[in-house]
Structure 1
Amino acid sequence: MIPNSNDKIIVKKPIIYLYPTEETEVTLQFNFKGKLLTTFPKYENKWQVIVSPNGQIYDTKTKRNYSSLFWDGEINLPNEHYQYEDGFVIEKENLTTFFIEKLEYMGLNNQETNEFIQFWLPILEQNKYNFIHFLVNDDCNEISVNTIHPKPETSIRVYMEFYSLEQLKIIKEQKLPKTERKGFTIVEWGGTDVTNKIQKNEL
């Protein structure tokens, strides 16, 4: 796998869920290491929100309720980032089972897992096989760093990176961490198609 340094990638659908133990005013800032493209609700240096324990988010600027906070952006990481030593190669027929097993193991709940699958399954099912590697928790800081007040007790962050394969490829299986949800919890998931970063003749 030789990375192609000429292609920037889009970090898609990072969405953030917040679950305080009681209704809480939360300030969330993030430092994305690339160029922001879209935010919803609109991000202007920070999100200032009031959050209920069930995850409902009230944005004090728009005066609207949300189930999550959304952003996406363009980034160009060094070639070394894409030299994967482990991961998973999954046939398209097995994607749903794979995602349910791995995402729930890492700490996502039923709703978060379903929303991840609803967004990503139609994209990955276009490929016969997919190589998948997860950035989990602190590994996500290479892409974006969150600053949240008050500070959550539990942070679960999962960014998926994948590229298409036409045939089965053997690779060392990635070992994933398991995070127990305690107290005020933030959950974030997103992903990136890195196919254009990998030279076609090396797939």
Structure 2
Amino acid sequence: MKRFFAMMLTMTMMGTTAYAAEEREKVTAIPKWQEVTFDGHSKVMQCYNIDGYNYFRLRDMAQEITDHIDKHRHHFGVSYDNEEKSINILRTYDYEPIAGIKEYLIGSEAKDAVLANTRLKVNGAKLPVDYMKGYVVEGYTFYKLRDLAELLGLSVEWCAADKVIELTGETPTYTDSNGNSISAARKPVIYLYPEETTDISVELEYDGNLTVTYPAYNEGWKVTAEPDGTLTNHADGREYSYLFWEGEGYGEMDFSEGFVVKGEDTVSFLQDKLSAMGMTPREYNEFIVYWLPYLQDNAYNLISFQWENYDESAKLNITPEPDNMLRVFMAFKAIDEPIEVPEQKLPVLEREGFTVVEWGGTEVH
């Protein structure tokens, strides 16, 4: 039975998201009607083009994703906490519109937009401040579509010939030599933490095909990294929190050791293991926010972190060379009953000198 969550973006929210507008630098938002497909269903949607990127309202995307993306794990509702001035994105809930809310139309004139400062949560867990960039236009908050798709585990492609954005919920799969049906390598993200401001080059040697990179890979990433992990991409001059890639065709999965975890225990398990390996709360919270919808509704999950085989299939060449690096790639299978498996020993990262952290994962069927 579908679960419904009312969308609580009320007029109260409109006032709170825009209250600091006068103190913030204004940018220009250009109104645009953009065709978007949702698992093949076409919809012409209103959005704003800001600095070359398309920004959409959460309520508009929530409606179309609930109605037309087949897999329920990509659906989301939205609620607003007036006391905390925060928006809560409710993953795996269906969107239900609130009756009586006045329809918003973007019109045809360019408008002023200011950077949103409303805190975002996912199922109650706070996201890092810079996780999703939003802009407030006429009291409404608009978010970058690619950021939202990344959060929801959706594939997003631009069809230049038809000028259409394509969103799909289907995860590409392939079969390894052991007969495992494996999803693509999903959301590996790379954090760079030098001891001082440093120009860094990152190259990825991947056995499969890269399907998405952000920022654009262009035969390698060249960035200036700050000690707090902030990255400035040399190609476009923009600021990023990490380097992101996905790919098809990753190598063999090894489940000879691992963990059997109840779906309902996913959060506590990942918090415990990821923090023990040396990941910061920011890093493991971003990991959990992404993977929780894939794990929590399963009776049990067989989880095994891939190490040497992952390093061989997705080599990272980083200049200057890091002093310490942790690459966490989680493979998992949904299972109906618990099974016996030797418990996996996990490494511990020493965060000294130039440190690199990467996390990603894949689902095996």
Percent identity (aligned): 39
Alignment map for 1:74-153 (pairs within 5 Å): 74-77=248-251, 81-82=252-253, 84-136=255-307, 138-153=308-323
Q: CA RMSD in A?
A: 1.5
Q: What residue in structure 2 maps to residue 44 of structure 1?
A: 218
Bigger proportion of residues as helix: 1
Identify if the C-alpha distance between structure 1 residues 49 and 82 changes in structure 2 by more than 3 Å, giving closer, same or farther. closer
Q: How far has the Cα of 1:86 moved from its partner?
A: 1.1
Instruction: Report if aligned partners of 2:182, 2:364 keep a CA contact under 8 Å in 1.
Output: no
Structure 1 distance, partners of 2:275, 2:282, is 10
Residue 15 of structure 2 corresponds to which residue in structure 1?
Answer: none
Using the TM superposition, name which of 98-107 and 111-120 deviates more. Answer: 98-107
Q: In the alignment, which residue of structure 2 is the partner of 1:55?
A: 229
Contact kept? 2:201, 2:223, Cα under 8 Å:
yes
Q: Mapping of 1:1-80 within 5 angstroms?
A: 3-4=178-179, 7=181, 9-77=183-251
- Report the Cα distance in structure 2 between the residues aligned to 1:82 and 1:114, rounded to whole angstroms: 25
Higher-Rg member (1/2): 2
In structure 2, the residue matched to 1:159 is 329
Distance 1:139 1:74 in 2: 15
Sort the Cα spacing of 1:84 and 1:8 in 2 relative to 1 into closer, same or farther, 3 A.
closer
Matched residue of 1:108: which SS?
coil
| Greater relative contact order structure (CA < 8 Å, 6+ sep) | 1
List gaps (5 residues or longer) in structure 1: 196-203
Deviation at 1:70, TM superposition (A): 0.2
Cα deviation code 1:75-111 (max 9, x no counterpart)? 153xxx3352110010011111110111111111110
Structure 2 CA distance for aligned equivalents of residues 179 and 186 of structure 1 = 10
Partners of 1:83 and 1:8 in 2: CA distance: 12
Give the aligned residue type for 1:186. V
Partner of 1:199: none
* Cα deviation code 1:7-28 (max 9, x no counterpart): 4530000000000000000011
Which position in structure 2 is the counterpart of 1:172?
342
CA contact (8 A) 2:300 2:338 kept: yes
| 1:174 aligned partner, one-letter code | Q
Q: Distance in 2 between matches of 1:129 and 1:142?
A: 29
Please list every run of 5 or more consecutive structure 2 residues that lacks an aligned counterpart in the other structure.
Answer: 1-176
Q: Distance in 1 between matches of 2:302 and 2:360?
A: 16
Q: Spell out, residue by residue over 1:30-84, the C-alpha distance to the aligned partner (whole angstroms, 9 max, x if none).
A: 101101100000001110100100100000111110000000000153xxx3352
Contact 1:8 1:74 in 2 (8 A): no
Distance 1:90 1:84 in 2: 14
